Structure 1
Amino acid sequence: MKNIVIYSVLFNFFFFSINAQNKVVEMLNNTTSTTQLTKKVDSLLFFGSESDMQSIISYYRSKRNGEKISEITKKIIEKFPTGKVAANENILAISKQENVKTMETMVEAFLVKFENSDFDFDSLYLIACDRSAKNKSTEHFLKYFNLIDNNEIKNTVVKYCATMLIEKSPDDIEALLNETLRNYRIGLNNKDDYYRYVELYSEIFETRGQWQKALDYFEESFFNMKSKTSKKIKRYSDLLMENKQYRKAFVVLDSLIRSGQGNTELKNRWATTYKKVFPENDFNMYSKEIVGEITKQSQEDIIKKVVLEKAPDFTLKDIDGKIHTLEDFKGKYLVIDLWATWCGPCKRSFPAMQEAVNKYKNDKDVKFLFVHTWENSKTPKQDAVSYLNENGFNFDLYMDTKNPQTGVNEMAKALSVNSIPAKIIIDKNGNLRYKGSGFGGGDDQLVVELSALIDYVKAN
C-alpha cells in the first residue's frame, strides 16, 4: 500500500494528460484492421504531440502489450528527450536504485537534465526520500526532505517513509513529526492523517522502551482507525502484553481469532494470554471449541458460493515446458491458484495455501496447481521458481505466460480471471465449482473456507 500511495503522486503528474486523450485511445480501440492501426500509430508518432504519443502507451497498456509499450516509450524519448515520458523513465530508474550513493548521483543528473522543464521536483525528492529511508540513510532522507516545498508531499513522506527510520533515528523522526503536527493544526491535514502521526509517536516510544507511552499513543490512533488490520491488532496486543495487560490483550486476540483472521503467530499470542488470564482452564479444549464454531459458520457460508457449470478448456505449461490441458487432470479435484510474483496479496496468502496443501497431501484425488500469470518481467519462470524456493513453499508450479502473437495470458482469459489472486476449484468431471479472488489477510479463514469448499465439492 505504501508504494502505491507514493508512486501515485508521480503517476498523476506524468500521465495526467492521458485522461484528456480518451478520444485518441477510443479511436485506436475502434480500429479493427491491424494495417490501419499501424498506420494510425505511425502517424501519431510522426506528427503527434507527446500527449498524443502517451495515449498510444495507454492503449497498449490496456492490451497488456509490454513489448509495444517499451517500443513506443523509446520512440517518445528519442523525440522528446526532456519530456514527461523521459522524466518518468529516469524517475523509475531512481526508484529502483538500491545503492543510496548511486541514487544521489542519478538525482543530481536528473536536476541538471530537466532543469528547464515544468517537472515538479518535489515528486523527485519524495522518491529520493523513500529510497533513502529504505536504505536506512537518515542523512540522505533529511537532505531530500528539506528540499520539498509542498507541505502535503512532506506529510506523505512522513506518513509512509518515516517509520523505516524510527529505530535508527527516533529523535530526528520525532522532530519531523512535531513539524508535521504543527502543519496539521493549521488545517493542512485530515483527521486520518493525524492518527497516523500519533501512531508514529507510539513507534518512537516503543523504540525507546517507554511501553506505557507507546501504548497510550497507539490506543488513541487504534480506536480511531477506520480499518483495523490483523497487523495493527497484533501490534496492539504486543503493547498490551508488554504492559502486562493480559486480559485486555486476550479480548483483542480472541475477537480476531473468532473472525477467522488468525495465523500461527497470533494464535501463539492468543494461547499465551489465555493461560495468563485463565491459568486453571484447558486452552486446548477452548481453542477446539472456537475452531469448531469458525468451521461451522464457514461451511454454512461457503455452500452459497458453490456453482455447477462446465469448465472451459485451458492450456498451461509445467516448469519443464510440457503443455497440459484440462483433460490431462480428469479424475482429479483441481484447486487452482493464479498468482504473480509482483502481487502482494497473492504472496501473503501463501502460508495459508501451504497449510492447505499439507492438509491434502495424502489425498490422491486432490491436485493443487499454482499457476503464475500476468507476468511483468522477461524471466517469469525464473522469478516464480526463485520466490517459491527462497520462501520454502512446496507448490506444484505451472506457467500461464503471454502468447507471443496475441500478448494474452490464455489460461487466465479462458477462466475469465479479472484479478489475482484467483482461487478456482474444478471437480473430477471437469465442472467449474468455485471461483473467487482476493485475500482478506486471515490465514485461518482461508484454510477453513478452502477446506470446506474442497470437502463439499467432493461430496456433491
Structure 2
Amino acid sequence: MKLSTFLFCCLSLQTMQATAQYDSQAEFSQDRIKTQGDPAIMEKMTRTFEAKYGDADRAKVYLVEAYADRADMNKVRYWLKDFKNQTFQHQAACSAVRILLTNKHYKEAEVLLQPYLHLDLTKEDANGYMGPTLLVYKDDAIRFFYYYAEVQYHKGNYKTAMRYMQAALDVDKGHTFFDFRQRELLALLYMHMGKTSEASMEMHSLISGAPDRNKEFMAAAKKCLPDYQQKVASATAWLYKRIKDETLKKMQTVNIQVPDIQLKDEKGNGFSLSSLRGKTVFIYFWTIDQTDLYDNSFPVLQRVKESYANNPDVVFICIHTYEAAASTATDVANYLDRKGYNLDLYLDLKDPVTKKNPMATALHLESANLERAWEGDYIILNKEGIGKVKRPAGLLNEMGYQVVHGMIDAVRENPEK
C-alpha cells in the first residue's frame, strides 16, 4: 500500500470516529430530554449508548449529576467508578460536589472530595493536568479546593477552609472560578478569623454584584459594615431603575403577536392566553430536561411571583414546550411540586400533523430547539396580549430578581407603549 493511501485511510478512519462521536452526542442530547431527568431511565440509555458506541462517558457525567441531585451516594460512587476516561470522571465528580453543596449535603460532598485534597496546584504538566497519578485538569482541581473550603467552613474549621481557599486563589490568578459564592465565602472566613478590613473589602465588591445575599452573609456584613444594607438597597434600586428605563425604550419597537393557541393544563383542561387579557402576563417557556440540575430560573420566578401576591393584575404562568412521553404532564407537575414551586403550569403539546409544538414554533423560542432546550425563554405580555419583552431565561441569575421586577413594572405601568 502506498504511503499516501495509508495516510488517507487513517484520516478517513479518524473522520469516521469523530463523526460517530458527534452523532452519538447529538442523539444523546435529544434522548436525554426524553428521560425527563429520571436517572433510572438514564442508566438504561447510557448502557445502550455504551454498547452502540463503545463509550458513554459523557452520558455518565449527566447520570452522576442526576444521582447527586437526589443525594443517592451509592449510585454516585458506583457510576464514578465506571468511567473509562479519567478526565470525564473528575469532571463528573466536580459537578456532583457542586450539586451536593448547593443542596447543602456537606458530608456527602466531603467524601467525594477526599481523593483530590493532596493535589499540588502549583504543579501542572504540559497538557494542563495535575498529577501524576490523577489526570485532573487544573480548572477542576481549583474548583475542588474552593469546594473543600466551603465544606470546612460549614464544619466550623475556618483555618482549614482558609488554607484551601488561599491555595486555590494563588493559582486562580484571573479569578476565573472565583464567583459570587466563593467571594462571599471568603468574606465570611475573614470575619470569623477577625480580619475585618479584608472582610470589608470583599463585602464592598459584592454590593453591586448580587443584591440578594443570604442571611448569614448579611448578618456578618452588618457587623463589619454598618451601612452595608443601605448600600445594597441603593445598588438594588439603581439596578431596578436601569432595567425599567431600558425596557421602556425597547418596548416602543417591540410588538410580538402571540398566537392564541389552545394549551392544556396537567389535568388536560383547555386554556388560552386570551382569557388573561387585561392583565400583565409573565410567561416562562421551558422544558424539564436538565432544569432539575441547573435550577437557576425557578427560585427567581417564585420570589417575583410572591412579591406580586397583592397585585392580581400581574399573572405568572409556565408553558412546557416539549413532551417526550405520555407521562410528561405528570412528570413536569411532580417536578414543580417536589421543588416547592407554586407556578401555574400549561403544556404546549405537539401538533399531531406537523409534529411541532405550535406556540414555541410560532414564537421562535429556544425551548423549541432540542439542542438548547434547557435554556428556555420568557415573554411579558401587556394588557392587550401583545408581547413587549422577550428574553432568554439564561439571564435569570443572581441579579434576576430586580431584572424581572423592572421589566414587569415597565410593561405594567405603561400599557400605552
TM-score, normalisation: structure 2: 0.69
Alignment counterpart, residue 338 of structure 1, candidates 279, 282, 285: 285
Instruction: Find the aligned partners of 1:246 and 1:166 in 2 and give their Cα distance.
Output: 29
Map 1:203-218; keep pairs closer than 5 Å. 203-204=147-148, 209=157, 210-218=160-168
Corresponding position: 1:319 with 2:266? yes
Change (3 A) 1:130 1:338: closer
Among candidates 325, 329, 332, match of residue 381 of structure 1: 329
Is residue 230 of structure 2 the alignment partner of residue 230 of structure 1? Answer: no
Out of 3, 17, 20, the position equivalent to 2:19 is: 17
Q: Deviations over 1:217-259 (max 9, x none)?
A: 1322544343543334344444444444444344334433413
Equivalent in the alignment of 1:73: none
Alpha-carbon separation, structure 2, partners of 1:91 and 1:320: 24
Displacement of 1:338 in angstroms is 0.8
The one-letter code sitting in structure 1 at the alignment partner of 2:366 is N
Which one has a larger percent helix, Structure 1 or Structure 2?
1
1:456 corresponds to which residue? 410
- Residue of structure 2 equivalent to 1:439: 394
Displacement of 1:422 in angstroms is 1.0
Match of 1:248 among 198, 216, 220: 198
Q: Aligned partners of 1:127, 1:393: CA distance in 2, in Å?
A: 24
Matched, 1:426 2:372: no
Q: Which residue of 1 aligns with 2:245?
A: 300
- Does the CA-based 8 Å contact 1:262-1:442 persist in structure 2? no
Displacement of 1:215? 2.3
Q: Greater CA deviation, 197-206 or 291-300?
A: 197-206
Task: Output the amino acid matched with 1:336.
Answer: I
Q: Does the CA contact (< 8 Å) of 2:42 and 2:63 recur in 1?
A: no
Instruction: Specify whether residues 61 and 174 from structure 1 end up closer, same or farther in structure 2 by C-alpha distance, changes over 3 A only.
Output: closer
CA contact (8 A) 1:336 1:370 kept: yes
Is this contact kept in 2: 1:199–1:217, CA < 8 A? Answer: no
CA–CA distance in structure 2, aligned partners of residues 242 and 13 of structure 1: 56
Identity of aligned residues (%): 20
**Aligned letter for 2:348?**
D
Mapped contact 1:308–1:433 kept (Cα < 8 A): yes
AA in 2 matched with 1:446: G
1:200 aligned onto 2:144: yes
Q: How many angstroms apart in 2 are the aligned matches of 1:449 and 1:127?
A: 30
Give the secondary-structure state (helix, strand or coil) at the position aligned to 1:381. Answer: helix
Q: What aligned pairs does 1:108-123 form with structure 2 within 5 A after superposition?
A: 119=54
Question: Once the 2 structures are TM-superposed, how far is the Cα of residue 320 of structure 1 from its aligned partner?
Answer: 3.4
Query: Is the Cα–Cα contact under 8 Å of residues 350 and 358 in structure 2 kept in the other structure?
Result: yes
Residue aligning to 1:87 = none
The offset of 1:299, in angstroms, is: 2.3
Instruction: Map 1:258-269 onto structure 2 (within 5 A).
Output: 258-259=208-209, 261-263=210-212, 266-269=213-216
User: Counterpart amino acid of 1:193?
Assistant: Y
What is the DSSP-based 3-state SS (H/G/I as helix, E as strand, rest coil) of the residue aligned with 2:281?
Answer: strand
- Count of equivalent residues: 360
Counterparts of 2:77 and 2:405 in 1: how far apart (Å)? Answer: 51
Partner of 2:6: none
CA distance in 1 between partners of 2:58 and 2:254 (Å) = 51
Q: Distance in 2 between matches of 1:128 and 1:323?
A: 35
In structure 1, the residue matched to 2:110 is 167
- For residue 220 of structure 2, the aligned residue among 268, 273, 291 is 273
Quote the Cα distance in structure 2 between the aligned partners of 1:432 and 1:121: 42
> Offset of 1:303 from its aligned partner?
2.8
Map of 1:130-145 to 2, 5 A cutoff? 136=73, 144=82
CA distances 1:193-219 after superposition (whole Å, capped 9, x unpaired): 324313424545665631331221132
Secondary structure at 1:397 match in 2:
strand
CA distance in 1, matches of 2:172, 2:215: 22
1:154–1:14: structure 2 CA closer, same or farther, 3 Å change rule? farther
User: Do structure 1's residue 220 and structure 2's residue 170 form an aligned pair?
Assistant: yes
Determine which structure has greater relative contact order: mean sequence separation of CA pairs < 8 Å that are 6+ residues apart, divided by chain length. 2
Q: Which amino acid aligns with 1:185?
A: D
Distance change (3 Å), C-alpha of 1:295 and 1:143? closer
Unmatched tracts of structure 1, length 5 or more:
1-11, 21-50, 67-89, 97-105
Closer/same/farther in 2, CA of residues 340 and 292 from structure 1, 3 Å limit? same
Greater shift, 363-372 or 375-384, is seen at 375-384
Following the alignment from structure 1 to structure 2, what is the Cα–Cα distance between the partners of residues 414 and 170? 47
Could you say if the C-alpha distance between residues 257 and 193 of structure 1 is closer, same or farther in structure 2, counting changes exceeding 3 Å? farther
How far the C-alpha of 1:428 sits from its partner, in A, is: 1.3
Cα pair 1:218 1:236 within 8 Å, conserved? no
Aligned counterparts of 1:131 and 1:424: Cα–Cα separation in 2: 29
Whether the aligned pair in 2 keeps the contact of 1:195 and 1:220 (CA below 8 Å) is no
1:74 alignment counterpart: none
Q: Which moved further from structure 2: 236-245 or 395-404?
A: 236-245
Q: 2:89 maps to which residue?
A: 157
SS in 2 for 1:258: coil
Contact 1:349 1:439 in 2 (8 A): yes
Structure 1 match to 2:307: 359
Give the superposed CA RMSD: 4.5
Provide closer, same or farther for how the CA distance between residues 251 and 380 of structure 1 changes in structure 2, counting only shifts above 3 A.
Answer: farther
Aligned-partner SS, 2:366: coil
Q: Is the 8 A contact 2:285 2:320 kept in 1?
A: yes
Check the 8 A contact 1:349/1:441 in 2, yes or no: yes
Shift of 1:124: 9.2
Show the counterpart of 2:343: 395
